[in-house]
Amino acid sequence: MTTTMLLDTDRALVQAATAVAKLRCRSANHTVAAAARTADGRVFTGVDLLHPTGGPCAEIVVLGTAATQGVGKLEAIVAVGDRGRGVVPPCGRCRQVLLDYHPGIRVIVGPLDALRKLPVADLLPERDTWADQRLDASAIVRTGQWPMPTVPTSRPASED
Ligand SMILES: [Zn+2]
C-alpha cells in the first residue's frame, strides 16, 4: 500500500468538502459532499443524490461536474459526511468508477487526526478494469456483429 503524506492542498480539499457538507447536506437527500482537485489546482465539489433507484454518490457527482468542465484528469478526491461524520471512504462502486475514469487519482481517507492519501488502486487490491470489458461499440455499428470479448493475458505494468 502506498500511503502519501497530505499536502496543504489536500487539507484544503478536505476543508472544501467539509464546508459543502455543512452548507448543503442538511436533509436525508444529501448526506455526503465530495471535493476533487486537478493537478493545476482547480477544485470541483458536489453532493450525493440519495434515491431508491441508486442515486449517485457525491464522488460520482464530482466526476460528472469535472467532466462537464472538460477536465480529463483529477489527482485527488475526498468525501465528507454530514452531521460531522468527517472523511468517509468511497463505496465499492465509487472505487471502481474512480479507478476506471481516473486511474492515477489519490483518495484521502481516515480519521481527521490521521488522514492519509492512497492511490485508488490500493483501495481495490483484486480489481477488474472496465477497459478490459468494454466492447468496441463502433465495431458493432460497423459490422452489425456482437464482438467476442478479448481477455488480456497480462495487465500493463502501470497497473501494478
Ligand atoms: Zn459511492
Active-site amino acid positions = 59
Instruction: Indicate whether 95 belongs to any domain.
Output: yes
What is the predicted pLDDT for the residue at 127? Answer: 79
Tell me the residue range of the domain where 47 lies: 8-129
Instruction: Indicate whether 57 belongs to any domain.
Output: yes
What is the predicted pLDDT for the residue at 133? Answer: 67
Mean pLDDT for 17-33 is 97
* Top-confidence residue, 25 or 135: 25
**Would the pTM count as exceeding 0.75?**
yes
Strand, helix or coil for residue 142 = helix
**CATH number of the domain residue 77 falls in:** 3.40.140.10
Instruction: Indicate whether 139 belongs to any domain.
Output: no
Number of separate domains in the chain: 1
Q: How much distance in Å is there from the Cα of 158 to the middle of ligand 1? A: 25
What is the predicted pLDDT for the residue at 74? Answer: 98
Nearest Cα residue to 104 out of 122, 92, 125, 127:
122
pLDDT tens sequence across 92-140: 999 999 999 999 999 999 998 999 999 999 999 887 777 776 666 666 5
CA distances from 104 to 39, 68, 71, 75, 119 (A): 11, 20, 14, 7, 7
Instruction: Indicate whether 147 belongs to any domain.
Output: no
Q: How much distance in Å is there from the Cα of 50 to the middle of ligand 1? A: 11
Strand, helix or coil for residue 79 = strand
Strand, helix or coil for residue 146 = coil
What is the predicted pLDDT for the residue at 1? Answer: 65
